[in-house]
Amino acid sequence: MGALYTLYIQTEGHIQMQDITAEVQRLAGECGIASGICTLFLPHTTAGLLISENRDPYLAVDLTRAVHMLTGDESGYHNLEGNFAAHLASMLTGVSLTVPVEDGRLALGSWQSIYLMEFDGSRKRKVRVKFMEDL
């Protein structure tokens, strides 16, 4: 135990959902955890972590539209880089997630995947992955 892992993810679009469940599950196997928790942390300010449905092909389209609806256009903001909407979307999704681990597996629901949400891509992103094992 003890290692803090890093996943490197190259995003492709300006807004994009990238399913990272398999990579996180692979790290759980690599560290050999049986039961405990997994904390995911994103060291970025214009991206987010989201657990959401993995079977509806329209979810990414709908979420992109929703992000635009919720964050508005940039014209009313003062942000120096012109990417405040991405910061706001990051605030709404969050950069930290904790998932229980049971029998060496992430205890996700059968319809759930873990997504890196890119809101200001394309960029090279990092996801930090930390496992804490039961006593």
Residues interacting with a second copy, by CB under 8 A? 1-2, 4, 35-37, 39, 41-45, 50-53, 56-59, 61-63, 65-66, 69-72, 76-81, 84, 87-88, 90-100, 102, 107-112, 126, 128, 130, 132-135
The nearest distance, CB 69 to a second copy, in angstroms, is 6
Give 6 or 10: the residue with its C-beta nearer to a second copy.
6
> What is the distance between the alpha carbons of residues 25 and 99, in angstroms, rounded to a whole number?
11
* Residue (23 or 36) nearer to a second copy, CB: 36
Nearer to a second copy, 12 or 56 (CB): 56
Do residues 16 and 118 touch, judged by C-beta distance below 8 A?
A: yes
As a residue count, the chain comes to 135
CB 98 within 8 A of CB 116: no
First-to-final CA distance of the chain: 11
